[in-house]
Structure 1
Amino acid sequence: GKTDVKGFPDRKNIGSERYTFSFTIRDSPAYFINVNSWGREEYVRSLSESFRVGDCVTIENPLVQTKELEKEEKFNPTTPSCYKLLLSETHSAVKICCHYEVDTKLLSLLHLPVKDPQDYYSLGDIVANGQSLDGRIINVLAAVKSVGEPKYFTTSDKRKGQRCEVKLCDETESSFAMICWDNESIQLVQSWMPRETVIFASELRINFDKFRNCMTATVISKTIFTTNPDTPEANILFNFIKESAATGALDDITEDQLRESINLQTIVDIYTVEQLKVKALQNEGKPEPVYGIIYAYISTLNIDTDTSKIIRNRCSGCHYVVNEMSNTCTFCNDNTSDAKSVFTSFDLLVDLTDHTGTLRSCNLSDVVAEETLSCTLVLSPSLRTGLRVNLLSCRLADPVEASQSLSGKGRK
């Protein structure tokens, strides 16, 4: 397991921030331990980017500390060790092991769950227990049915966020949603092959999704994934998923539905900009997104800037924005010998305004931007003019419908 880098106010140096991330290491079937790194942003980010989940590493000169169980295991994986490791920028180092240096016994641990392989819930058990499991943290064994594209958004306080939905299945349930909110887990799930991958997920959080009226799973900082576990239970599930895929039993939804994590036709709640801002503040810190409809116009669309600021190259495999200098996806190319192709897409920030206020810096990108502006991205000298013309010809909302909705006749 591995978490994203986060910054916190430095109590000793008012006005500055300290950065941290954590990961979990294992060197035997029975023992694994959490590692934390704190320090300057440059150091912590560089260290985090130097390795990924599944890499074998050598850690030099860590500080060994006794962990405070209640505090430590609230946000970190539960480990059998009474200790944790701290990495210091001054004294510690993490080095990636070359392939020929790695003991094969270590590699076998990648396919051995960190929990009892028989201590898990089936998806059917979760559905059957329903809301009695709401908020519980449990282990799950399931097959990967589909992996959605990462979705990117900007919060009301202009923080960048991301979300990715994975559909799971097993012998008892044909489709079950698992949500990822952090970059590390999103990058990991993008490497999974749908209908060919079984996972053992330890310490997943289970929630009742009021919007969908069903149970879902959420990846949290405590979660550790074991991909294709080498256990009898996982082998049985793997054979089941292969047979089901061969007979077409899993082909019960279309590709368009696989790509969309929410049915847009079910979104009926109407908000003004002011109401949506209040709703966002009320839901701050909660993992569930807010869905709704607003009647507004695009008040700011800066297409007179440099094209490099409104167009991004994305990886065809994981849809992440690729490195601008090398024009390659660092994640996919690190995990496969085949270089992934890239495609260009819009990456716009727009302001939406109605009679109550303005939503600033709303992200409009990829296919949604093309559909909104009714144009496909083609790099040419007339790109910006073409965008402006298409914007002026966009289909407007029905004034009568908008007026009725905003006056209270629509659903609030």
Structure 2
Amino acid sequence: MADFFASKSFTALSDLHPSMANLKVIGIVIGKTDVKGFPDRKNIGSERYTFSFTIRDSPNHFVNVTSWGNEDYIKSLSGSFRVGECVMIENPLIQRKEMEREEKFIPTTPSNCKLLLSENHSTVKVCSVYEVDNKLLSLIHLPVKESRDYYSLGDIVANGHSLDGRIINVLAAVRSVGEPKYFTTSDRRKGQRCEVRLYDETEALFPLACWDNESILLAQSWTPGETVIFAADVRISFDKFRNCMTATVISKSIITTNPDTPEANILLNFVRGNKEANVFDDEIGSHLKESINLNTIVEVYTVEQLKAKALKNERKADPLYGILYAYISMLNIDNETTNVVRNRCSGCGYIVNAASNTCTTCHRDSLGYKSNFSSFDMLIDVTDHTGTLPSCSLSGNVAEETLGCTVNEFLAMTDGQKTALKWQLLLERSKIYLKGSSPAALSISAEAADMESSRASPVFQDLRLRIRHY
């Protein structure tokens, strides 16, 4: 690497000092923030724009780079390169960073300096991969934290509230990448959000939220079932609505895709083993995939209309999506004879045999054994003024959102607490998003549920309830 710098007249990031001038540096972009605008104190009524990125030129050295300027300059500069590309920077201003104040909001770096870009004096050029040393390109797969300095997803779930608000490192595999959702805030600023679902050997599903465009663009490049990430400095919090722990990418975060570390390689082997077992098969693994974007469901039905629609579509394989304004008329969560929680296979997601506690779908021999996890799996009735839909499936994370508790919290409840929870939901006006399959699919659904119900009515799955009091 030293010979490479010498031949190109680059200054190594490890040698940066505020007294230097007219220098040239090169590095691979390992992190980047969105462009933001702020009121210009010197010119009232106008805005200044800024964004930051982090470059690296060796395993032990990386620095933050910040640029300020007018909207056109900053947006043009930010749009000229992405994470994973190499850039050459000429004539940056070198400043000592203010450790305590600055690194609350930007990535922590080993350097005591930072680089500032000036529109009039500095230039940034994107380098072709053919111009760059392979040693520099390989740095994109090296985490910025020590490879063993991370929490497993199981550790995060087990520690629960004690990690709420903490900033930690996570090593995990990508299970699914959701579609970006766009919105406008109350002050008319546009925003976006994308949820990535992670997993590892200890936890089947764990949400990671991306709120900035740069992390969303990076997430869209990940391939579920093939990508492992090391997410440095993500914020862990407890989601009260979903009653689960979540991770969020923040301005300090740097995410390394497919890190080249022993720990990541072990996890990648686990991922590949699951893939060979058809974990991500369209039919078997469908319960693990990202749910449909609720904003795309706009058709409103009555129960009577839904029944007619489902019967009309009996010969069609496509599911029926819709919105129903109704109330829950049957919710047997306090009945000891009713199975509300079932064990599912962490490999394929099917319900395991209650007697043997093994999966007969993908675990055909003891060598293929994988652990099980507990999940809500219940049948409810929903009713409106036109009739009742019996045996609607309410399961998984959607059931947790509806009940307002996790499986473990539910199992720890007394019978009285379960009854009280039931009556909080029964007969309350609800907005229900649902997916329905035709009666022809009933036999498959019933078999997967150990033949719990064989009533010949449309099976409505993936219910997402929004309780509204009228």
Separation (CA, whole Å) in 1 of partners of 2:193 and 2:240: 18
Counterpart amino acid of 1:12?
K
State the 4+ residue runs in structure 1 displaced beyond 3 angstroms: 248-253, 259-265, 409-412
Structure 1 distance, partners of 2:134, 2:88, is: 15
Displacement of 1:159? 1.6
Mark the runs of 5 or more structure 2 residues left unpaired by the alignment: 1-30, 298-323, 326-427, 431-466
Larger Rg: 2
- Tell me which residue corresponds to 1:290: none
C-alpha distance in structure 2 between counterparts of 1:242 and 1:107, whole Å? 25
Q: Does the 8 Å CA contact 1:149/1:259 hold for their aligned counterparts?
A: no
- The CA deviation string for residues 213-236 of structure 1, in whole angstroms up to 9 with x for no partner, is 000000001110111111110000
Q: Which residue of 2 aligns with 1:11?
A: 41
The equivalent of 2:469 in structure 1 is 411
Match of residue 414 from structure 2: none
User: Structure 1 residues 15, 26: CA separation in 2 closer, same or farther (over 3 Å shift)?
Assistant: same
What corresponds to 1:259 in structure 2? Answer: 291
Matched, 1:97 2:127: yes
2:271 is paired with a residue whose SS is: helix
What's 1:195 paired with?
225
Q: CA deviation at 1:14?
A: 1.0
Task: Deviation per CA, 1:192-220: give whole Å up to 9, x if none.
Answer: 11100000010010010000000000000
For the pair 1:230 / 2:260, whether they are aligned, the reply is yes
Give the match for residue 132 of structure 1.
Answer: 162
The aligned amino acid for 2:244 is C
1:245-284 to structure 2, matched below 5 A, reads 245-249=275-279, 254=286, 258-260=290-292
Look up the match of 1:53.
83
Counterpart in 2 of 1:394? none
1:160 Cα offset (Å): 1.2
How many correspondences in the alignment? 275
1:387 maps to what in 2? none
| Amino acid of the structure 1 residue aligned with 2:205 | S
Alpha-carbon spacing, 1:140–1:213, altered in 2? closer, same or farther (3 Å): same
Q: C-alpha offsets along residues 92-135 of structure 1, whole Å, 9 cap, x if unaligned?
A: 01001122211111011011111101100000000000010001
Matching residue's letter, 1:169? Y
1:201–1:262 distance in 2 versus 1, CA, 3 Å:
farther
Q: Deviations over 1:249-296 (max 9, x none)?
A: 46675269513478999xxxxxxxxxxxxxxxxxxxxxxxxxxx99xx
Q: 1:261 to 1:116 in 2, by over 3 A?
A: farther
- Asked if 1:83 is matched to 2:113, the reply is yes
1:70 offset after TM fit, Å? 1.4
- Aligned mates of 1:125, 1:263 — CA distance in 2: 33
> What TM-score comes out, normalization by structure 2 length?
0.56
Give yes or no for contact 1:165–1:261 (8 Å, CA) kept in 2: no
CA contact (8 A) 2:179 2:293 kept: no
Counting aligned pairs with the same residue, the percent is: 70
Aligned-CA RMSD value: 2.6
Structure 1 counterpart of 2:291, which letter? R
Q: Which residue of 1 is the match for residue 216 of structure 2? A: 186
1:65 matched to 2:95? The reply is yes
Contact 1:174 1:250 in 2 (8 A): no
Secondary structure at the counterpart of residue 226 of structure 2: coil
**1:154 and 1:25, CA in 2 relative to 1: closer, same or farther beyond 3 A?**
same
- Residue 164 in 1 paired to residue 222 in 2? no
CA displacement at 1:141 relative to structure 2: 0.4
- Partner residue, 1:116: 146
Distance 2:186 2:89 in 1: 40
Determine helix, strand or coil for the equivalent of 1:128. helix
